A and B are shown apart, each in its own frame.
Chain A
Amino acid sequence: MKTEFSLLDSMPVGAFVVSRDMTVRYWNPCMEDWTGIKRADIVATSLAEAFPVFLEKRYEARLYSVFEQGTPVLLTYRLHGNLFANRDPSCMERVYHTTVTRLAGDEPCALFTLEDRTEVSNRIMEARQELDRRIETERLLRSALEEKEVLFREIHHRVKNNLNSIISLIHLQLDAIDDEPTQAHLGDLEARIQSFSLLHETLYRGNVYDKIDIAEYLGIVVERLQESTSAAGVHCAINLKSVVISVKKALYLGLALVELLTNAMKYGRSADGSTTIAIDLVPAEAGSWILRVRDNGPGISENAITECKDSLGLKLIQMMADELSGSIRFLKPADGGTQIDFSFSSDIEQTE
Protein backbone atom coordinates (compact mmCIF):
# COMPACT_ATOMS: atom_id res chain seq x y z
CA MET A 1 0.00 0.00 0.00
CA LYS A 2 1.78 3.10 -1.19
CA THR A 3 0.21 6.38 -0.18
CA GLU A 4 1.24 9.91 0.71
CA PHE A 5 1.96 8.59 4.21
CA SER A 6 4.31 5.76 3.18
CA LEU A 7 7.23 7.70 4.64
CA LEU A 8 5.87 6.78 8.07
CA ASP A 9 6.78 3.13 7.42
CA SER A 10 10.47 3.84 7.86
CA MET A 11 10.05 5.81 11.11
CA PRO A 12 11.34 4.11 14.28
CA VAL A 13 8.33 5.41 16.24
CA GLY A 14 4.68 4.43 16.27
CA ALA A 15 2.85 6.68 13.82
CA PHE A 16 -0.65 6.85 12.38
CA VAL A 17 -2.91 9.37 10.70
CA VAL A 18 -6.57 10.10 11.36
CA SER A 19 -8.95 12.40 9.53
CA ARG A 20 -11.20 14.99 11.24
CA ASP A 21 -13.94 12.38 11.84
CA MET A 22 -11.31 10.16 13.56
CA THR A 23 -11.21 7.62 10.74
CA VAL A 24 -7.78 5.97 10.60
CA ARG A 25 -6.07 6.85 7.34
CA TYR A 26 -2.70 5.23 7.88
CA TRP A 27 -1.10 2.84 10.41
CA ASN A 28 2.66 2.24 10.32
CA PRO A 29 4.43 -1.13 10.97
CA CYS A 30 5.65 0.06 14.37
CA MET A 31 2.01 0.56 15.44
CA GLU A 32 1.26 -2.97 14.17
CA ASP A 33 4.02 -4.37 16.40
CA TRP A 34 3.15 -2.31 19.46
CA THR A 35 -0.65 -2.79 19.33
CA GLY A 36 -0.98 -6.16 17.60
CA ILE A 37 -3.45 -4.53 15.18
CA LYS A 38 -2.73 -4.94 11.48
CA ARG A 39 -2.97 -1.98 9.15
CA ALA A 40 -5.55 -3.71 7.01
CA ASP A 41 -7.80 -4.22 10.04
CA ILE A 42 -7.83 -0.62 11.23
CA VAL A 43 -7.45 1.66 8.22
CA ALA A 44 -10.81 3.16 7.17
CA THR A 45 -12.34 2.36 10.56
CA SER A 46 -12.89 4.75 13.45
CA LEU A 47 -10.02 5.00 15.91
CA ALA A 48 -12.60 4.79 18.70
CA GLU A 49 -13.65 1.28 17.56
CA ALA A 50 -10.23 -0.08 18.46
CA PHE A 51 -9.59 2.39 21.30
CA PRO A 52 -12.93 3.48 22.83
CA VAL A 53 -11.13 5.87 25.18
CA PHE A 54 -11.14 8.36 22.30
CA LEU A 55 -14.90 8.73 22.68
CA GLU A 56 -14.27 10.54 25.97
CA LYS A 57 -14.88 14.28 26.04
CA ARG A 58 -11.36 15.05 27.26
CA TYR A 59 -9.87 13.74 24.01
CA GLU A 60 -12.48 15.52 21.96
CA ALA A 61 -11.42 18.80 23.60
CA ARG A 62 -7.71 18.16 23.03
CA LEU A 63 -8.09 17.05 19.42
CA TYR A 64 -10.31 20.04 18.71
CA SER A 65 -7.31 22.31 19.29
CA VAL A 66 -5.25 20.21 16.86
CA PHE A 67 -7.75 20.39 14.03
CA GLU A 68 -9.18 23.85 14.61
CA GLN A 69 -6.17 25.81 15.88
CA GLY A 70 -3.28 23.75 14.57
CA THR A 71 -1.74 23.51 18.04
CA PRO A 72 0.18 20.29 18.73
CA VAL A 73 -1.06 18.22 21.64
CA LEU A 74 0.97 16.08 24.00
CA LEU A 75 -0.57 13.05 25.72
CA THR A 76 1.78 11.67 28.38
CA TYR A 77 1.85 8.24 29.97
CA ARG A 78 1.46 9.48 33.53
CA LEU A 79 -1.77 11.32 32.74
CA HIS A 80 -3.25 8.92 30.19
CA GLY A 81 -1.65 5.52 30.84
CA ASN A 82 -1.09 3.15 27.95
CA LEU A 83 -3.53 4.59 25.38
CA PHE A 84 -2.57 2.06 22.71
CA ALA A 85 -2.16 -1.16 24.68
CA ASN A 86 -1.33 -4.35 22.81
CA ARG A 87 -4.26 -6.68 22.19
CA ASP A 88 -2.16 -9.51 23.59
CA PRO A 89 -2.14 -9.00 27.37
CA SER A 90 1.04 -11.11 27.67
CA CYS A 91 2.98 -8.45 25.74
CA MET A 92 5.19 -6.09 27.68
CA GLU A 93 3.45 -2.83 28.60
CA ARG A 94 5.11 0.08 26.89
CA VAL A 95 5.38 3.64 28.11
CA TYR A 96 4.50 6.12 25.37
CA HIS A 97 4.42 9.85 25.04
CA THR A 98 2.05 10.64 22.21
CA THR A 99 2.25 13.85 20.20
CA VAL A 100 -0.62 14.83 17.92
CA THR A 101 0.06 17.41 15.20
CA ARG A 102 -2.04 18.70 12.34
CA LEU A 103 -0.97 17.76 8.84
CA ALA A 104 -1.30 20.37 6.19
CA GLY A 105 -3.35 19.33 3.17
CA ASP A 106 -6.67 19.60 1.45
CA GLU A 107 -8.33 17.44 4.04
CA PRO A 108 -7.45 18.19 7.67
CA CYS A 109 -5.64 15.23 9.19
CA ALA A 110 -3.83 14.63 12.45
CA LEU A 111 -0.58 12.72 12.82
CA PHE A 112 -0.16 10.70 16.02
CA THR A 113 3.45 9.86 16.87
CA LEU A 114 4.19 7.56 19.77
CA GLU A 115 7.63 7.90 21.34
CA ASP A 116 8.60 4.82 23.30
CA ARG A 117 9.83 5.87 26.77
CA THR A 118 9.77 2.37 28.26
CA GLU A 119 13.52 2.12 28.78
CA VAL A 120 13.78 5.63 30.20
CA SER A 121 10.83 4.90 32.45
CA ASN A 122 12.40 1.65 33.68
CA ARG A 123 15.66 3.41 34.41
CA ILE A 124 13.84 6.15 36.31
CA MET A 125 11.91 3.55 38.29
CA GLU A 126 15.12 1.70 39.14
CA ALA A 127 16.79 4.97 40.17
CA ARG A 128 13.79 5.87 42.31
CA GLN A 129 13.77 2.45 43.96
CA GLU A 130 17.49 2.82 44.66
CA LEU A 131 16.91 6.31 46.06
CA ASP A 132 14.05 5.02 48.22
CA ARG A 133 16.26 2.16 49.44
CA ARG A 134 19.00 4.63 50.37
CA ILE A 135 16.54 6.91 52.15
CA GLU A 136 15.21 3.90 54.09
CA THR A 137 18.76 2.75 54.93
CA GLU A 138 19.63 6.26 56.12
CA ARG A 139 16.47 6.31 58.24
CA LEU A 140 17.38 2.95 59.79
CA LEU A 141 20.95 4.14 60.45
CA ARG A 142 19.67 7.31 62.11
CA SER A 143 17.29 5.28 64.19
CA ALA A 144 20.11 2.86 65.19
CA LEU A 145 22.33 5.82 66.05
CA GLU A 146 19.62 7.40 68.20
CA GLU A 147 19.06 4.03 69.91
CA LYS A 148 22.82 3.71 70.51
CA GLU A 149 22.94 7.19 72.02
CA VAL A 150 20.03 6.38 74.31
CA LEU A 151 21.80 3.17 75.39
CA PHE A 152 25.08 5.02 76.01
CA ARG A 153 23.30 7.61 78.11
CA GLU A 154 21.53 4.87 80.02
CA ILE A 155 24.81 3.01 80.64
CA HIS A 156 26.54 6.13 81.93
CA HIS A 157 23.51 6.92 84.08
CA ARG A 158 23.56 3.44 85.60
CA VAL A 159 27.33 3.42 86.17
CA LYS A 160 27.05 6.83 87.83
CA ASN A 161 24.21 5.56 90.07
CA ASN A 162 26.18 2.42 91.01
CA LEU A 163 29.24 4.49 91.87
CA ASN A 164 27.07 6.83 93.94
CA SER A 165 25.71 3.78 95.78
CA ILE A 166 29.29 2.77 96.60
CA ILE A 167 30.01 6.35 97.77
CA SER A 168 26.91 6.20 100.01
CA LEU A 169 28.07 2.88 101.48
CA ILE A 170 31.50 4.36 102.22
CA HIS A 171 29.80 7.37 103.78
CA LEU A 172 27.74 5.10 106.03
CA GLN A 173 30.90 3.24 106.96
CA LEU A 174 32.57 6.56 107.79
CA ASP A 175 29.81 7.40 110.28
CA ALA A 176 30.33 4.08 112.01
CA ILE A 177 34.10 4.58 112.47
CA ASP A 178 35.73 6.73 115.15
CA ASP A 179 39.35 6.13 114.15
CA GLU A 180 40.51 9.35 112.45
CA PRO A 181 43.23 7.86 110.17
CA THR A 182 40.75 5.27 108.91
CA GLN A 183 38.16 8.03 108.41
CA ALA A 184 40.73 9.99 106.39
CA HIS A 185 41.52 6.97 104.21
CA LEU A 186 37.84 6.32 103.56
CA GLY A 187 37.32 10.04 102.78
CA ASP A 188 40.11 9.91 100.22
CA LEU A 189 38.66 6.75 98.71
CA GLU A 190 35.25 8.43 98.51
CA ALA A 191 36.77 11.42 96.68
CA ARG A 192 38.49 9.13 94.16
CA ILE A 193 35.32 7.21 93.40
CA GLN A 194 33.47 10.54 93.22
CA SER A 195 35.79 11.61 90.36
CA PHE A 196 34.75 8.50 88.39
CA SER A 197 31.09 9.12 89.11
CA LEU A 198 31.36 12.73 87.97
CA LEU A 199 32.93 11.63 84.70
CA HIS A 200 29.90 9.43 83.95
CA GLU A 201 27.53 12.17 85.07
CA THR A 202 29.19 14.65 82.68
CA LEU A 203 29.01 12.14 79.84
CA TYR A 204 25.35 11.40 80.61
CA ARG A 205 24.48 15.10 80.41
CA GLY A 206 26.30 15.60 77.11
CA ASN A 207 25.71 14.00 73.75
CA VAL A 208 29.24 12.78 72.93
CA TYR A 209 30.35 9.59 74.64
CA ASP A 210 33.98 9.05 73.67
CA LYS A 211 35.31 12.56 74.43
CA ILE A 212 34.74 15.09 77.16
CA ASP A 213 35.30 18.80 77.75
CA ILE A 214 38.01 18.76 80.36
CA ALA A 215 37.19 22.24 81.70
CA GLU A 216 33.63 21.19 82.44
CA TYR A 217 34.60 17.87 83.98
CA LEU A 218 37.56 19.02 86.12
CA GLY A 219 35.57 22.09 87.17
CA ILE A 220 32.88 19.83 88.68
CA VAL A 221 35.53 17.60 90.29
CA VAL A 222 37.00 20.65 92.08
CA GLU A 223 33.57 21.92 93.10
CA ARG A 224 32.44 18.56 94.53
CA LEU A 225 35.71 17.97 96.34
CA GLN A 226 35.38 21.36 98.00
CA GLU A 227 31.82 20.52 99.04
CA SER A 228 32.67 17.04 100.33
CA THR A 229 35.69 18.08 102.38
CA SER A 230 33.79 21.04 103.87
CA ALA A 231 37.20 22.59 104.32
CA ALA A 232 36.77 26.07 105.73
CA GLY A 233 38.74 28.90 104.18
CA VAL A 234 39.67 27.00 101.02
CA HIS A 235 39.40 29.02 97.83
CA CYS A 236 39.99 27.43 94.45
CA ALA A 237 40.85 29.60 91.43
CA ILE A 238 40.15 27.53 88.36
CA ASN A 239 41.65 28.50 85.00
CA LEU A 240 41.02 25.62 82.65
CA LYS A 241 40.88 25.95 78.88
CA SER A 242 37.82 24.44 77.28
CA VAL A 243 39.45 21.51 75.51
CA VAL A 244 38.21 18.09 74.50
CA ILE A 245 40.04 14.94 75.56
CA SER A 246 39.33 11.21 75.35
CA VAL A 247 37.25 9.75 78.17
CA LYS A 248 40.03 7.34 79.20
CA LYS A 249 42.58 10.14 79.59
CA ALA A 250 40.02 12.33 81.34
CA LEU A 251 39.52 9.56 83.93
CA TYR A 252 43.29 9.51 84.73
CA LEU A 253 43.43 13.29 84.81
CA GLY A 254 40.40 13.52 87.11
CA LEU A 255 41.91 11.04 89.55
CA ALA A 256 45.29 12.84 89.46
CA LEU A 257 43.56 16.17 90.16
CA VAL A 258 41.70 14.70 93.14
CA GLU A 259 45.05 13.60 94.62
CA LEU A 260 46.74 16.93 93.90
CA LEU A 261 43.86 18.90 95.40
CA THR A 262 43.55 16.66 98.44
CA ASN A 263 47.25 17.14 99.00
CA ALA A 264 47.01 20.91 98.62
CA MET A 265 44.02 21.13 100.97
CA LYS A 266 45.91 19.12 103.58
CA TYR A 267 49.29 20.80 103.40
CA GLY A 268 48.82 24.10 101.62
CA ARG A 269 47.31 26.16 104.39
CA SER A 270 48.90 29.60 104.79
CA ALA A 271 49.91 31.21 108.05
CA ASP A 272 46.59 33.05 108.35
CA GLY A 273 44.68 29.76 108.08
CA SER A 274 43.32 30.33 104.59
CA THR A 275 44.13 28.19 101.56
CA THR A 276 44.11 29.45 98.00
CA ILE A 277 44.61 26.83 95.34
CA ALA A 278 45.12 27.81 91.69
CA ILE A 279 44.35 25.14 89.10
CA ASP A 280 45.52 25.78 85.56
CA LEU A 281 45.68 23.78 82.38
CA VAL A 282 48.38 25.20 80.14
CA PRO A 283 49.89 24.04 76.87
CA ALA A 284 53.55 23.01 77.08
CA GLU A 285 55.81 21.56 74.41
CA ALA A 286 54.32 20.17 71.23
CA GLY A 287 51.62 17.65 72.11
CA SER A 288 52.08 18.17 75.86
CA TRP A 289 49.97 19.91 78.46
CA ILE A 290 50.49 20.77 82.11
CA LEU A 291 47.84 20.49 84.80
CA ARG A 292 49.21 22.89 87.40
CA VAL A 293 48.06 22.97 91.04
CA ARG A 294 49.55 25.63 93.23
CA ASP A 295 48.79 26.53 96.83
CA ASN A 296 49.78 29.46 99.04
CA GLY A 297 51.03 27.33 101.93
CA PRO A 298 54.47 27.28 103.50
CA GLY A 299 55.93 25.25 100.65
CA ILE A 300 56.81 21.59 100.67
CA SER A 301 60.26 20.58 101.90
CA GLU A 302 62.55 18.06 100.21
CA ASN A 303 62.12 15.76 103.18
CA ALA A 304 58.36 15.94 102.89
CA ILE A 305 58.59 15.07 99.19
CA THR A 306 60.71 12.02 100.01
CA GLU A 307 58.27 10.96 102.73
CA CYS A 308 55.31 11.50 100.43
CA LYS A 309 56.71 9.22 97.78
CA ASP A 310 55.51 6.17 99.73
CA SER A 311 52.00 7.57 100.15
CA LEU A 312 49.16 6.06 98.16
CA GLY A 313 48.19 9.53 96.85
CA LEU A 314 51.56 10.21 95.28
CA LYS A 315 51.81 6.66 93.96
CA LEU A 316 48.48 7.17 92.26
CA ILE A 317 49.58 10.49 90.74
CA GLN A 318 52.75 8.81 89.43
CA MET A 319 50.68 5.92 88.00
CA MET A 320 48.37 8.37 86.24
CA ALA A 321 51.36 10.27 84.86
CA ASP A 322 52.79 7.00 83.53
CA GLU A 323 49.48 6.13 81.91
CA LEU A 324 49.45 9.54 80.20
CA SER A 325 53.15 9.33 79.19
CA GLY A 326 53.83 12.29 81.47
CA SER A 327 55.67 13.28 84.64
CA ILE A 328 55.28 15.25 87.86
CA ARG A 329 57.42 18.06 89.15
CA PHE A 330 57.39 19.64 92.60
CA LEU A 331 58.33 23.33 92.50
CA LYS A 332 58.76 26.00 95.13
CA PRO A 333 57.90 29.35 93.57
CA ALA A 334 59.89 32.37 94.77
CA ASP A 335 56.74 34.04 96.15
CA GLY A 336 55.90 31.00 98.28
CA GLY A 337 53.62 28.00 98.26
CA THR A 338 53.98 24.74 96.44
CA GLN A 339 53.44 24.18 92.76
CA ILE A 340 52.99 20.73 91.28
CA ASP A 341 53.15 20.43 87.51
CA PHE A 342 51.48 17.32 86.20
CA SER A 343 52.52 17.13 82.58
CA PHE A 344 50.94 14.74 80.15
CA SER A 345 50.77 14.23 76.43
CA SER A 346 47.43 14.14 74.67
CA ASP A 347 45.86 14.88 71.32
CA ILE A 348 43.71 17.55 72.90
CA GLU A 349 41.24 19.46 70.73
CA GLN A 350 40.84 23.09 71.73
CA THR A 351 37.25 24.30 71.46
CA GLU A 352 37.85 27.96 72.20
Chain B
Amino acid sequence: MIMSVARLDTLTELVTLGIGRSAEVLNLILNEHIELSAPIISILDVGELPEILKADEDRLSAVSMRYAGSMDGVTELIFRSKEAGKLVDCITGEENRTEEGLDALRAGTLCEVGNVVINSLMGAISNELDFHLTYTVPTYLEGGVDVLVAEAKLAEARAVLLAKTVFNVATLRIEGEIAVFMSLASLHYLEKALDLYLAR
Protein backbone atom coordinates (compact mmCIF):
# COMPACT_ATOMS: atom_id res chain seq x y z
CA MET B 1 0.00 0.00 0.00
CA ILE B 2 1.25 3.45 -0.85
CA MET B 3 0.84 6.59 1.23
CA SER B 4 2.20 9.96 0.20
CA VAL B 5 5.51 11.06 1.71
CA ALA B 6 3.86 14.06 3.41
CA ARG B 7 1.21 11.90 5.07
CA LEU B 8 3.76 9.27 6.08
CA ASP B 9 6.09 11.94 7.51
CA THR B 10 3.21 13.37 9.54
CA LEU B 11 2.28 9.93 10.82
CA THR B 12 5.93 9.29 11.77
CA GLU B 13 5.87 12.56 13.73
CA LEU B 14 2.69 11.54 15.57
CA VAL B 15 3.96 8.03 16.28
CA THR B 16 7.21 9.51 17.64
CA LEU B 17 5.18 11.87 19.82
CA GLY B 18 3.06 8.99 21.17
CA ILE B 19 6.07 6.76 21.76
CA GLY B 20 7.80 9.62 23.59
CA ARG B 21 4.79 10.07 25.87
CA SER B 22 4.59 6.36 26.58
CA ALA B 23 8.28 6.36 27.56
CA GLU B 24 7.56 9.19 30.02
CA VAL B 25 4.69 7.23 31.60
CA LEU B 26 6.65 3.97 31.70
CA ASN B 27 9.53 5.73 33.42
CA LEU B 28 7.15 6.88 36.12
CA ILE B 29 5.89 3.39 36.88
CA LEU B 30 8.86 1.12 36.23
CA ASN B 31 11.90 0.20 38.29
CA GLU B 32 14.21 0.61 35.31
CA HIS B 33 14.78 3.64 33.10
CA ILE B 34 13.36 2.90 29.71
CA GLU B 35 13.95 4.52 26.34
CA LEU B 36 11.66 3.95 23.40
CA SER B 37 12.02 4.74 19.77
CA ALA B 38 10.03 3.95 16.65
CA PRO B 39 12.41 4.79 13.84
CA ILE B 40 10.60 3.10 10.93
CA ILE B 41 6.93 3.16 10.06
CA SER B 42 5.11 1.82 7.03
CA ILE B 43 1.58 1.19 5.72
CA LEU B 44 0.98 -2.37 4.55
CA ASP B 45 -1.70 -4.75 3.46
CA VAL B 46 -2.53 -7.12 6.34
CA GLY B 47 -1.53 -10.06 4.12
CA GLU B 48 2.05 -8.75 3.99
CA LEU B 49 2.48 -8.93 7.75
CA PRO B 50 3.66 -12.58 8.07
CA GLU B 51 6.47 -11.93 5.60
CA ILE B 52 7.43 -8.66 7.30
CA LEU B 53 7.46 -10.16 10.82
CA LYS B 54 9.41 -13.22 9.59
CA ALA B 55 8.19 -15.16 12.61
CA ASP B 56 7.47 -18.53 11.04
CA GLU B 57 9.28 -20.45 13.75
CA ASP B 58 9.05 -17.99 16.62
CA ARG B 59 6.23 -17.76 19.09
CA LEU B 60 4.86 -14.25 19.36
CA SER B 61 3.42 -12.41 22.36
CA ALA B 62 1.18 -9.43 21.79
CA VAL B 63 -0.98 -6.98 23.70
CA SER B 64 -4.12 -6.17 21.80
CA MET B 65 -6.65 -3.34 22.22
CA ARG B 66 -9.61 -2.83 19.93
CA TYR B 67 -10.66 0.70 19.08
CA ALA B 68 -13.83 2.07 17.54
CA GLY B 69 -15.35 5.44 16.69
CA SER B 70 -14.10 7.60 13.83
CA MET B 71 -11.89 4.66 12.91
CA ASP B 72 -12.29 0.95 13.65
CA GLY B 73 -9.63 -1.66 14.19
CA VAL B 74 -7.16 -3.25 16.55
CA THR B 75 -3.80 -2.06 17.82
CA GLU B 76 -1.23 -4.64 18.86
CA LEU B 77 2.17 -4.36 20.48
CA ILE B 78 4.04 -7.42 19.25
CA PHE B 79 7.20 -9.12 20.50
CA ARG B 80 8.82 -12.47 20.04
CA SER B 81 7.77 -14.35 23.20
CA LYS B 82 11.35 -14.82 24.43
CA GLU B 83 11.99 -11.09 24.05
CA ALA B 84 8.70 -10.29 25.79
CA GLY B 85 9.77 -12.47 28.74
CA LYS B 86 13.12 -10.69 28.94
CA LEU B 87 11.43 -7.28 28.85
CA VAL B 88 8.97 -8.21 31.62
CA ASP B 89 11.66 -9.72 33.85
CA CYS B 90 13.94 -6.74 33.31
CA ILE B 91 11.34 -4.11 34.20
CA THR B 92 10.10 -6.02 37.24
CA GLY B 93 13.65 -6.75 38.41
CA GLU B 94 13.03 -10.50 38.46
CA GLU B 95 15.49 -13.18 37.57
CA ASN B 96 15.27 -13.99 33.89
CA ARG B 97 13.21 -17.12 33.41
CA THR B 98 13.84 -19.45 30.53
CA GLU B 99 10.46 -21.10 30.03
CA GLU B 100 8.70 -20.65 26.71
CA GLY B 101 5.72 -18.30 26.83
CA LEU B 102 4.51 -16.06 29.62
CA ASP B 103 2.51 -17.14 32.66
CA ALA B 104 -0.60 -15.19 33.65
CA LEU B 105 1.26 -12.74 35.91
CA ARG B 106 4.04 -11.99 33.44
CA ALA B 107 1.44 -11.71 30.66
CA GLY B 108 -0.46 -9.23 32.87
CA THR B 109 2.68 -7.12 33.25
CA LEU B 110 3.25 -7.13 29.49
CA CYS B 111 -0.41 -6.12 29.09
CA GLU B 112 0.18 -3.07 31.25
CA VAL B 113 3.27 -2.07 29.25
CA GLY B 114 1.29 -2.55 26.05
CA ASN B 115 -1.61 -0.61 27.54
CA VAL B 116 0.66 2.39 28.23
CA VAL B 117 2.28 2.29 24.79
CA ILE B 118 -0.95 1.83 22.85
CA ASN B 119 -2.83 4.46 24.91
CA SER B 120 -0.09 7.01 24.33
CA LEU B 121 0.29 6.24 20.66
CA MET B 122 -3.41 6.16 19.82
CA GLY B 123 -4.01 9.15 22.12
CA ALA B 124 -1.35 11.18 20.28
CA ILE B 125 -2.77 10.32 16.85
CA SER B 126 -6.42 10.91 17.75
CA ASN B 127 -5.74 14.10 19.74
CA GLU B 128 -3.54 15.70 17.10
CA LEU B 129 -5.78 14.68 14.21
CA ASP B 130 -8.80 15.69 16.24
CA PHE B 131 -10.99 12.61 16.20
CA HIS B 132 -12.47 10.42 18.90
CA LEU B 133 -11.98 6.74 19.66
CA THR B 134 -13.15 4.33 22.35
CA TYR B 135 -11.14 1.32 23.43
CA THR B 136 -11.55 -2.13 24.93
CA VAL B 137 -9.35 -3.26 27.81
CA PRO B 138 -6.01 -4.77 26.77
CA THR B 139 -5.79 -8.52 26.21
CA TYR B 140 -2.81 -10.80 25.85
CA LEU B 141 -2.30 -12.93 22.73
CA GLU B 142 0.29 -15.64 22.21
CA GLY B 143 0.97 -17.84 19.21
CA GLY B 144 2.04 -17.63 15.60
CA VAL B 145 1.58 -14.59 13.39
CA ASP B 146 -1.70 -16.13 12.18
CA VAL B 147 -3.17 -15.65 15.69
CA LEU B 148 -2.39 -11.93 15.53
CA VAL B 149 -3.71 -11.55 12.01
CA ALA B 150 -6.89 -13.49 12.90
CA GLU B 151 -7.57 -10.99 15.68
CA ALA B 152 -7.17 -8.16 13.16
CA LYS B 153 -9.42 -9.86 10.62
CA LEU B 154 -12.14 -10.14 13.27
CA ALA B 155 -12.13 -6.36 13.22
CA GLU B 156 -12.33 -6.49 9.40
CA ALA B 157 -8.95 -4.83 9.09
CA ARG B 158 -7.31 -4.76 5.67
CA ALA B 159 -4.50 -2.29 6.23
CA VAL B 160 -1.90 -1.99 8.93
CA LEU B 161 0.25 0.89 10.13
CA LEU B 162 3.42 -0.85 11.30
CA ALA B 163 5.95 0.90 13.53
CA LYS B 164 9.17 -0.91 14.41
CA THR B 165 9.76 -0.13 18.07
CA VAL B 166 12.92 -0.46 20.13
CA PHE B 167 12.84 -0.71 23.93
CA ASN B 168 16.13 0.08 25.62
CA VAL B 169 15.96 -1.01 29.26
CA ALA B 170 19.18 -1.14 31.29
CA THR B 171 21.55 -3.11 29.04
CA LEU B 172 18.75 -4.77 27.11
CA ARG B 173 17.69 -3.79 23.63
CA ILE B 174 14.36 -5.35 22.75
CA GLU B 175 12.70 -4.94 19.41
CA GLY B 176 8.97 -5.06 18.93
CA GLU B 177 6.36 -3.86 16.49
CA ILE B 178 3.32 -1.71 16.95
CA ALA B 179 0.67 -2.72 14.46
CA VAL B 180 -2.40 -0.49 14.05
CA PHE B 181 -4.81 -2.63 12.04
CA MET B 182 -7.66 -0.80 10.36
CA SER B 183 -10.36 -1.22 7.74
CA LEU B 184 -9.95 0.42 4.34
CA ALA B 185 -12.64 2.96 5.30
CA SER B 186 -10.64 3.79 8.41
CA LEU B 187 -7.47 4.17 6.32
CA HIS B 188 -9.26 6.67 4.06
CA TYR B 189 -10.53 8.51 7.13
CA LEU B 190 -6.97 8.65 8.49
CA GLU B 191 -5.66 9.99 5.19
CA LYS B 192 -8.29 12.73 5.15
CA ALA B 193 -7.52 13.61 8.76
CA LEU B 194 -3.82 13.82 7.88
CA ASP B 195 -4.59 16.11 4.93
CA LEU B 196 -6.65 18.41 7.18
CA TYR B 197 -3.80 18.43 9.72
CA LEU B 198 -1.31 19.33 6.97
CA ALA B 199 -3.58 22.09 5.70
CA ARG B 200 -3.81 23.81 9.09
Q: Interface residues, chain A, CB within 8 Å of chain B? A: 57-58, 61-62, 65, 69-80, 95, 97, 99, 101, 117, 120-121, 124, 127-128, 131
Contacts and interface: CB of A to CB of B under 8 A. Distances in A.
A69 B104 contact: no
Interface in B106-132: 106, 108-109, 111-112, 115-116, 118-120, 122-123, 126-127, 132
Given A57-B28, A61-B28, A73 B108 contact: no
B108 A65 contact: no
B137 A101 contact: yes
- Top 10 nearest A-B pairs (CB, nearest first) are A58-B28, A71-B119, A76-B108, A74-B115, A76-B112, A69-B123, A72-B137, A78-B109, A74-B112, A124-B103
Contact of A61 (B25, B91, B112, B134): B25
A65 B109 contact: no
A74 B24 CA distance: 16
How extensive is the interface on chain B, given as a class? 20 to 34
Nearest to B104: A120
B171 interface: no
Given A65-B120, A69-B119, 20 more contacts: A61-B24, A62-B25, A69-B127, A70-B132, A71-B119, A72-B135, A72-B138, A74-B111, A74-B112, A74-B137, A74-B138, A76-B109, A76-B111, A77-B108, A78-B108, A117-B104, A121-B104, A121-B105, A124-B103, A131-B99
B31 to A, nearest CB: 9
Contacts of A73: 115, 119
Interface of B: 24-25, 28-30, 65, 91-92, 97, 99, 103-106, 108-109, 111-112, 115-116, 118-120, 122-123, 126-127, 132-138
Given A61-B25, A69-B123, A117-B104, A75 B138 contact: no
A71 B122 contact: yes
A71 B120 CA distance: 9
B86 to A, nearest CB: 15
Contacts of A101: 137
A337 B105 CA distance: 81
Given A62-B25, A101-B137, A117 B105 contact: yes
Contact of B92 (A78, A95, A99, A131): A78
Contacts of B112: 74-76, 79
B134 A58 contact: no
Nearest to B108: A76
Contacts of A74: 108, 111-112, 115, 137-138
B96 to A, nearest CB: 13
A70 B99 contact: no
